[in-house]
Amino acid sequence: MPKKYAVIGHPIGHTLSPFIHKRLFELSGVDAVYEAIDIAPENLNRDYDKILKSLSGYNITIPHKQAIIPFLDKIDEKARMYGSVNTVLNRGGVASGFTTDPDGFLKALEYAGIELDGRVVILGCGGVARTMAYEALLKGGRVELAVREKSAKKAETLVNEIKNNLKNPDIKYCFMPELCGDIDTLVNATPVGMSPNTEVMPVDEKILKNCAGVFDAIYNPLDTLLIKTARKNGAKAEGGMTMLVWQAVVSHFHWDGSTYDVKDIEKLCIDAAEELKNR
């Protein structure tokens, strides 16, 4: 009998997870089925025993990444630090939670040859920016959150949280119009440039002329205007589809120890982007 896996969330109809994970199971030769299950927040308690306990493993998306934690027997260090779980392994009656979002981010940068140990400017201060800021600081980077004035309070709160949780982190925030100078890595953690509004960028091209590396968390389209412009100006640049696929790859490592050829993952990123376009 094939093992059963799924992604849970609400709403869940838009997810690319079944497409990506089915391909990963095929590549690893693991006999498994993978489906999307819509679970409303008020039904999580009921469906945990009814559905989730019977699965070999599952992924979690909004709005359950925090809500799932009290149901689990254990979570790993990164998941505990972020207070977020997006992957669960059920084995021997024990439910173990992980977060693979940070790993997906780091793997995507590694694939693109982009470093995190210099001046790292992160555009935005939401949940995605939070993950990236922590990871950059843990890699020895000097982090600057660039935000709009209306987000000043939120940025200040995030900076203070990180200063409370990490030892002497080099982090601050600024307003986007103040951004200048050489940047080792620029990270877009805002939705600016996402389909259908693909003809805009979160920063002016003059900023990109001073960037060595650029990462855009947006995965639709595959190459945003920010990515295209960064490459035109000589920067190493990578989009969010690579992060999306790599975090799925890390889920499979937790589930069954599977590893993959980089060329296969590269092809999967392109195919996933095409699948998204065809929908």
Residues serving a catalytic function are 65
Residues in the chain: 279
3-state SS, residue 175: strand
Could you give phi then psi for residue 184, rounded to 5 degrees? -70, -45
Torsion of CA 123, 125, 131, 134, to 10 degrees: 90
Token pair 């819509």 is found at 38
Pairing of strands 74-75, 94-98: parallel
Q: Which residues contact 149 (CB under 8 A, 6 or more apart)?
A: 175
Residue-by-residue DSSP string for 84-147: ---EEEEETTEEEEE--HHHHHHHHHHHHT---SSEEEEE--SHHHHHHHHHHHHTT-EEEEEE
Query: Largest Cα–Cα distance of the chain, in whole Å?
Result: 59
Residue-by-residue DSSP string for 20-65: HHHHHHHHHT--EEEEEEE--GGGHHHHHHHTGGGSSEEEE-TT-T
Question: Is residue 103 within 8 Å of 76, Cβ to Cβ?
Answer: no
| Secondary element (H or E) of residue 205 | helix 205-208
Pairing of strands 183-188, 74-75: unpaired
User: Residue 179's CB: how many other CB atoms inside 10 A?
Assistant: 18
